[in-house]
A and B are shown apart, each in its own frame.
Chain A
Amino acid sequence: MKKKFWFVLAIILCVMILAVGMSACSDNLGAKVGEVTIAIDCKTILQNRDKAEAGLIDNKLIPSDGIILKESIVDIFEKDNVLTVLKRICKQNKIHIDADSSYVKAINHIYEMSVGESSGWLYFVDGLQPNVGANQYKLKGGEKIVFAYTCVVGDLK
């Protein structure tokens, strides 16, 4: 009885690990639609360096000009949204990113709430801040996406 129990537990664990692995591998995006430009910056931190966590400054994670990724052109596909584009470009340029299926917690090890309490990542499309999450904004091609770090509410206008 005991042996059976552990055997079943082991099988369940194996299936779970396999399922996680399979879901990660299957990213079929469809045909190419067009191109967008994307940039990542954290210029607001430069004025708020005194508020930044010690770990960010000691490890020199804040670039001196505040630009983590220069404006670059990315191909987009049928099933793409802003978040998948961001994840892909970060993987290509080997920039660290911590995001789940809907929310961007960190880019380049700069986490939300690490430069003051109301700090975090925001995104802009053609200079405007959309009212939907980054995983729900579908792209048509030709848009200009900017991911920017905010330290105080309203400092990105």
Chain B
Amino acid sequence: MIEKQNPITILCYLFFVIFITMFSTNPIMLGISFVSGILLYCILCGVKKTLVRLGYFIIFVAIIAIINPIFSRQGMTQLFWIGEFVVTLEALLNGVAIGVIFGSVIIWFGVLNVLLCSDKIIYIFGKFTPKIGTILSIALGLFPKYIVQYRKIDNNLKGLGLYDGASFLSKVKLKMHTLSTLITWSVEGAVLLSDNMSARGYDLKGKRVYGKYTFGVADGILLIVSLALGISILVFMGLGSGSFYYYPTFKQIVWDSSVWIYFATLVFMNILVVINLWEGAKWQFLKSKI
């Protein structure tokens, strides 16, 4: 069903999810966003890819968690001293939180990349800005091609035996050589591609884009729900509900009216997960048992 959903609805929903993640500092909100993002990614791409992404995520968070205390001396809970400099628990955990914000946003963009393939992007942008739509779709389509081509060139070099017994420095030089070959290849490809596209009339005025996506009742419901929930969560966050600070020491999380914003976020971020699971269950139920 998500594949058939109108791309504009999905873009709107993911836009709000990413915005809420970016502006929240509360660990509960961040945890909800991170877990929901991972869950959706896991459903869409499978466990193996998710584990690889989680590995990168952990490395990323660890790097920021180490870097933040180097620059920040704030916080009341002192862990240890390095010379004159104190390392505090607050600075460390603030680093972790910043890392989780970045990591969650990257995961949600991964979801966006899966859900909005290039013809969907052309469908969204094609109506009012055809040029930007074309450029975006080409740019997004090029990354996987580049990765495949990079591996091909690298394997060629390996096949020539240049890597055998090479020192660290010359290996780095070979990688640079691979990169430069890739760039030359891509520039050549771009010239060919643009010639092809203009031959097919891409730069003509009044060109329209074909899209097979319709705007149905389910799209309307999802659009209204995501607009209402997303805007209300952002407004309540702006009013100070679920606010949090790390310095001078962590704010005590109290279970008062701000519980509602956590609950709303939990519901909002898991809409697509629930839809997916529901579709799966329906499929299992309706499958013919003859």
Q: Please list the residues of chain A having a beta carbon within 8 angstroms of any beta carbon in chain B.
A: 1-2, 5, 17, 20-21, 23-24, 53-56, 58-59, 61, 96, 98, 105-106, 109, 111
Please judge, given known A-B contacts A2-B168, A21-B82, A24-B84, whether A98 and B74 are in contact too, CB under 8 Å: yes
Please judge, given known A-B contacts A5-B168, A59-B76, whether A17 and B245 are in contact too, CB under 8 Å: no
Could you mark each residue 81-93 of chain B with 1 if its beta carbon is under 8 Å from any beta carbon of chain A, else 0? 0111100000000
Any A CB within 8 A of the CB of B247: yes
Please judge, given known A-B contacts A54-B251, A55-B249, A111-B74, whether A20 and B167 are in contact too, CB under 8 Å: no
In the complex, how many residues of chain B place their beta carbon closer than 8 angstroms to a beta carbon of chain A? 16
Please judge, given known A-B contacts A1-B168, A2-B168, A20-B82, whether A58 and B76 are in contact too, CB under 8 Å: no
| Cα distance, A54 to B25, chains bound together (Å) | 15
Could you mark each residue 204-242 of chain B with 1 if its beta carbon is under 8 Å from any beta carbon of chain A, else 0? 000000000000000000000000000000000000000
A-B contact count (CB 8 A): 42
> In angstroms, how far is the closest chain A Cβ from the Cβ of B245?
5
Q: Do residues A55 and B168 form an inter-chain contact, with CB atoms below 8 A?
A: no
Which 9 residue pairs spanning A and B have beta carbons closest together?
A24-B83, A109-B248, A20-B83, A24-B84, A98-B73, A55-B245, A21-B83, A1-B168, A1-B167
Q: Do residues A55 and B247 form an inter-chain contact, with CB atoms below 8 A?
A: yes
| Cα distance, A25 to B247, chains bound together (Å) | 28
Q: Do residues B251 and A58 form an inter-chain contact, with CB atoms below 8 A?
A: yes
Closest to B78 in A: A96
A-side contacts of B83, CB under 8 Å: 20-21, 23-24
